[in-house]
Amino acid sequence: MRSFSIPKSTYPLVALGMLGMLVTFFIVMVHAAEAEDISQAVAVLHSAQGHNIDGTVTFQKTSNGVRILATIKGLTPGKHGFHIHAFGDCSASDFTSAGGHYNPDGYPHAGPASKKRHMGDLGNVTADADGEGHFEASNDYVALDGSRSVIGRAVIVHAGEDDLTSQPSGDAGARVACGVIGISGQ
Protein backbone atom coordinates (compact mmCIF):
# COMPACT_ATOMS: atom_id res chain seq x y z
CA MET A 1 0.00 0.00 0.00
CA ARG A 2 1.37 3.39 -1.03
CA SER A 3 1.35 6.20 1.53
CA PHE A 4 0.33 9.74 0.44
CA SER A 5 3.33 11.92 -0.27
CA ILE A 6 3.98 15.36 -1.72
CA PRO A 7 6.19 15.24 -4.81
CA LYS A 8 9.62 16.73 -4.11
CA SER A 9 9.29 19.11 -7.09
CA THR A 10 6.41 20.97 -5.38
CA TYR A 11 8.25 21.61 -2.05
CA PRO A 12 9.05 25.29 -2.87
CA LEU A 13 5.39 25.93 -3.73
CA VAL A 14 4.17 24.29 -0.51
CA ALA A 15 6.66 26.36 1.50
CA LEU A 16 5.49 29.53 -0.24
CA GLY A 17 1.86 28.68 0.48
CA MET A 18 2.57 28.12 4.17
CA LEU A 19 4.50 31.40 4.37
CA GLY A 20 1.54 33.16 2.77
CA MET A 21 -0.85 31.74 5.36
CA LEU A 22 1.50 32.79 8.16
CA VAL A 23 1.76 36.36 6.82
CA THR A 24 -2.05 36.56 6.44
CA PHE A 25 -2.48 35.30 10.00
CA PHE A 26 -0.19 38.02 11.39
CA ILE A 27 -1.87 40.78 9.36
CA VAL A 28 -5.27 39.69 10.75
CA MET A 29 -3.90 39.56 14.31
CA VAL A 30 -2.29 43.03 14.12
CA HIS A 31 -5.47 44.51 12.66
CA ALA A 32 -7.60 42.98 15.42
CA ALA A 33 -5.26 44.46 18.05
CA GLU A 34 -5.70 48.01 16.68
CA ALA A 35 -7.99 50.33 18.64
CA GLU A 36 -11.50 50.79 17.34
CA ASP A 37 -11.95 53.79 15.07
CA ILE A 38 -14.37 56.02 16.99
CA SER A 39 -16.13 58.72 14.97
CA GLN A 40 -18.92 59.85 17.33
CA ALA A 41 -19.36 60.38 21.03
CA VAL A 42 -21.95 61.84 23.39
CA ALA A 43 -22.13 63.15 26.95
CA VAL A 44 -25.48 63.55 28.74
CA LEU A 45 -25.17 66.26 31.38
CA HIS A 46 -26.46 65.79 34.92
CA SER A 47 -27.23 68.67 37.24
CA ALA A 48 -25.51 69.37 40.53
CA GLN A 49 -27.78 69.54 43.56
CA GLY A 50 -29.56 72.87 43.84
CA HIS A 51 -29.57 73.36 40.07
CA ASN A 52 -31.89 72.08 37.39
CA ILE A 53 -29.53 71.75 34.43
CA ASP A 54 -29.73 69.22 31.66
CA GLY A 55 -28.15 68.99 28.28
CA THR A 56 -26.35 66.94 25.67
CA VAL A 57 -22.89 67.35 24.19
CA THR A 58 -22.04 65.56 20.95
CA PHE A 59 -18.67 64.95 19.33
CA GLN A 60 -18.37 64.14 15.64
CA LYS A 61 -15.13 63.42 13.82
CA THR A 62 -14.80 65.49 10.62
CA SER A 63 -12.05 66.11 8.07
CA ASN A 64 -10.88 69.18 10.04
CA GLY A 65 -11.11 68.03 13.63
CA VAL A 66 -13.89 67.10 15.99
CA ARG A 67 -17.17 69.02 15.75
CA ILE A 68 -18.49 69.68 19.24
CA LEU A 69 -22.15 70.66 19.68
CA ALA A 70 -23.96 71.29 22.94
CA THR A 71 -27.42 72.34 24.01
CA ILE A 72 -27.80 72.99 27.72
CA LYS A 73 -30.89 74.15 29.64
CA GLY A 74 -31.29 75.53 33.15
CA LEU A 75 -28.17 77.72 33.27
CA THR A 76 -27.96 81.24 34.63
CA PRO A 77 -27.71 83.75 31.76
CA GLY A 78 -24.13 84.50 30.68
CA LYS A 79 -20.87 82.63 30.22
CA HIS A 80 -20.05 79.31 31.85
CA GLY A 81 -16.70 77.52 31.81
CA PHE A 82 -16.96 74.43 29.62
CA HIS A 83 -14.30 71.74 29.82
CA ILE A 84 -13.36 68.10 29.45
CA HIS A 85 -12.08 66.86 32.79
CA ALA A 86 -9.71 63.92 33.25
CA PHE A 87 -12.02 61.36 34.86
CA GLY A 88 -15.40 60.11 33.72
CA ASP A 89 -16.63 60.11 37.29
CA CYS A 90 -19.59 62.34 38.16
CA SER A 91 -20.28 60.49 41.43
CA ALA A 92 -19.30 63.22 43.91
CA SER A 93 -22.12 65.71 44.57
CA ASP A 94 -19.78 68.60 43.70
CA PHE A 95 -18.31 66.64 40.73
CA THR A 96 -14.76 66.97 42.08
CA SER A 97 -14.48 63.24 41.28
CA ALA A 98 -14.03 64.25 37.62
CA GLY A 99 -10.56 65.57 38.47
CA GLY A 100 -8.84 68.49 36.76
CA HIS A 101 -8.93 69.50 33.11
CA TYR A 102 -7.81 66.72 30.78
CA ASN A 103 -4.23 67.70 29.98
CA PRO A 104 -2.24 64.88 28.33
CA ASP A 105 0.54 67.23 27.16
CA GLY A 106 1.22 69.11 30.39
CA TYR A 107 0.29 72.53 29.00
CA PRO A 108 -1.08 75.45 31.07
CA HIS A 109 -4.77 76.31 31.17
CA ALA A 110 -5.85 78.56 28.30
CA GLY A 111 -8.65 79.27 25.85
CA PRO A 112 -9.58 77.17 22.82
CA ALA A 113 -7.77 79.60 20.49
CA SER A 114 -4.40 79.01 22.20
CA LYS A 115 -2.08 76.43 20.67
CA LYS A 116 -0.76 75.34 24.07
CA ARG A 117 -3.73 74.55 26.26
CA HIS A 118 -5.32 71.70 28.10
CA MET A 119 -6.95 69.32 25.62
CA GLY A 120 -10.06 69.83 27.75
CA ASP A 121 -10.12 73.62 27.40
CA LEU A 122 -13.28 74.20 25.37
CA GLY A 123 -13.73 77.77 26.63
CA ASN A 124 -17.20 78.99 27.60
CA VAL A 125 -20.77 78.17 26.73
CA THR A 126 -23.04 81.24 26.72
CA ALA A 127 -26.58 80.97 28.03
CA ASP A 128 -29.30 83.35 26.84
CA ALA A 129 -31.87 85.14 29.03
CA ASP A 130 -33.87 81.89 29.23
CA GLY A 131 -30.82 80.02 30.54
CA GLU A 132 -30.36 78.05 27.36
CA GLY A 133 -26.81 77.60 26.16
CA HIS A 134 -25.63 76.59 22.72
CA PHE A 135 -22.06 75.64 21.91
CA GLU A 136 -20.68 74.84 18.50
CA ALA A 137 -17.00 74.52 17.60
CA SER A 138 -14.54 72.56 15.51
CA ASN A 139 -11.66 71.34 17.63
CA ASP A 140 -8.42 70.06 16.08
CA TYR A 141 -6.91 68.95 19.40
CA VAL A 142 -9.59 66.78 21.00
CA ALA A 143 -9.07 63.09 20.15
CA LEU A 144 -11.88 60.53 20.06
CA ASP A 145 -9.67 57.48 19.64
CA GLY A 146 -6.13 56.38 20.33
CA SER A 147 -4.23 56.60 23.61
CA ARG A 148 -5.30 60.26 24.15
CA SER A 149 -9.00 59.66 23.65
CA VAL A 150 -11.53 61.73 25.60
CA ILE A 151 -13.90 58.74 25.70
CA GLY A 152 -14.55 57.81 29.31
CA ARG A 153 -13.68 61.31 30.57
CA ALA A 154 -16.21 63.97 31.60
CA VAL A 155 -17.67 67.22 30.31
CA ILE A 156 -18.13 69.77 33.10
CA VAL A 157 -20.10 73.05 33.03
CA HIS A 158 -19.18 75.66 35.65
CA ALA A 159 -21.25 78.24 37.54
CA GLY A 160 -19.03 81.08 36.36
CA GLU A 161 -17.04 82.26 33.38
CA ASP A 162 -13.68 80.77 32.41
CA ASP A 163 -11.32 83.77 32.10
CA LEU A 164 -9.07 81.61 29.85
CA THR A 165 -5.94 82.68 31.76
CA SER A 166 -6.13 81.91 35.50
CA GLN A 167 -4.34 78.70 36.52
CA PRO A 168 -5.11 75.90 36.75
CA SER A 169 -8.71 76.11 35.54
CA GLY A 170 -9.78 79.64 34.55
CA ASP A 171 -11.38 80.57 37.88
CA ALA A 172 -14.75 79.34 36.62
CA GLY A 173 -16.21 78.49 40.02
CA ALA A 174 -18.33 75.53 41.10
CA ARG A 175 -19.12 72.59 38.86
CA VAL A 176 -22.85 72.69 38.10
CA ALA A 177 -23.21 69.93 35.48
CA CYS A 178 -21.29 66.76 34.64
CA GLY A 179 -21.59 64.11 31.97
CA VAL A 180 -19.43 61.13 31.04
CA ILE A 181 -18.31 60.98 27.39
CA GLY A 182 -19.28 57.70 25.76
CA ILE A 183 -19.08 56.19 22.29
CA SER A 184 -22.16 57.05 20.24
CA GLY A 185 -23.67 54.99 17.46
CA GLN A 186 -25.87 57.67 15.90
Q: Which of residues 87-146 bind Zn ion (CB under 5 A)?
A: 101, 109, 118, 121
DSSP 14: H
Collapsing DSSP states into helix, strand and coil, what is residue 60? strand
Helix ranges (DSSP H) in the chain = 11-33
C-alpha dihedral (86, 87, 92, 94), degrees to nearest 10: 20
Minimum CB separation of residue 136 from Cu ion in Å reads: 19
Minimum CB separation of residue 169 from Cu ion in Å reads: 6
DSSP 109: P
Nearest partner of 56 among 135, 171, 130, judged by Cα: 135
80, 117, 153, 158: which one is catalytic? Answer: 158
Minimum CB separation of residue 61 from Cu ion in Å reads: 23
Q: Is 85 a catalytic residue?
A: yes
Nearer to Cu ion, 41 or 156 (CB): 156
117, 121, 153, 162: which one is catalytic? Answer: 121
Collapsing DSSP states into helix, strand and coil, what is residue 78? strand
Look at residue 121 and give the partner it binds from Cu ion, Zn ion, none, a contact being a CB closer than 5 to 8 Å depending on partner kind: Zn ion
Tell me which residues are annotated as active site: 83, 85, 101, 109, 118, 121, 158, 175
Q: What residue ranges bind Zn ion (CB under 5 A)?
A: 101, 109, 118, 121
